Copies of this chain bind each other. A is one copy, B any other.
Amino acid sequence: VTARVPDRDTYRHGDLRRALVDAGIDLARTGGPTAVVLREATRRVGVSPNAAYRHFVDRAALLGAVCDAAQAALARAIEDEQERVRTSRGGAARGRFLAVGTGYIRFARTEPGLFRAAFSVPANLDGRSAPARAGRRGLTPFQLLSAALDDLVQAGDLPAARRRDAEFLAWGAVHGLATLLVDGPLRGLGADDASRLADRMTVMVADGL
């Protein structure tokens, strides 16, 4: 409620669009997608509410940009996890596949607001490969999963006959557990119990596919 002094030195903002998206990401981090309020984002940037309309046609457009950024953050979390297990026991391909799931769930638990935001805009299948949703290696979360599954087949850990649509089974399984842990009845679980469940889930998927 304190007056905010616009902290910019030029009349033109420089990169207001980016600043608004960053503010939106902060809001989402704290309160999920519904907290991405256009007026609050402009307030934080130190700009009048309608200035946002120079850069976004809509509040929905701002939320869409935040959603993309959240997906990219998820991709990076998966990449982090994959690098962490590079020294893998039981086959590199399998390790990389398991890491997709555990990284996914770790992200959901450490950044619940962003996780919710990442799935707040009902995605069409086109979004699977949107560059704005990609991580460091240029792949979206979905593409990271696909690649891991391909590797699994190539390593002989997954019969090629079962490869088709395997993304959706693996994704669904892991995503469901993530939502139970973030918004569902498993909300209160400690980090250890949660990651134990995450491990069991990814193994179950790898074995059951």
A residues engaging B (CB < 8 A)?
119, 122-125, 127-128, 165, 168-169, 171-180, 183-188, 197, 200-201, 203-209
Q: Is the CB–CB distance between B175 and A179 below 8 Å? A: yes
- So how many copies of this chain end up in the complex? 2
Known: A169-B200, A208-B204, A209-B204. A175 touches B180 (CB 8 A): yes
Known: A197-B165, A205-B208. A173 touches B177 (CB 8 A): yes
Nearest 10 A-B pairs (CB), nearest first?
Answer: A176-B176, A208-B208, A172-B177, A204-B208, A173-B173, A172-B176, A175-B176, A207-B208, A123-B185, A125-B185
Q: Which of B172, B185, B203 contacts A173 (CB 8 A)?
A: B172
In the bound complex, what is the Cα–Cα distance between A174 and B208 (angstroms)? 14
Give chain B residues whose Cβ lies under 8 Å from the Cβ of A173: 172-173, 176-177, 201, 204-205
Q: Is the CB–CB distance between B186 and A201 below 8 Å? A: no
Q: Is the CB–CB distance between A169 and B201 below 8 Å? A: yes
**Secondary structure class of chain A's binding surface, majority of residues:** helix
Minimum distance in angstroms from A209 CB to a CB of chain B: 6
Minimum distance in angstroms from A74 CB to a CB of chain B: 14
Q: Is the CB–CB distance between A180 and B172 below 8 Å? A: yes
Q: Is the CB–CB distance between A169 and B204 below 8 Å? A: yes
Q: Is the CB–CB distance between B169 and A177 below 8 Å? A: yes
Q: Is the CB–CB distance between B184 and A119 below 8 Å? A: yes
Q: Is the CB–CB distance between B171 and A176 below 8 Å? A: yes
In the bound complex, what is the Cα–Cα distance between A179 and B184 (angstroms)? 13
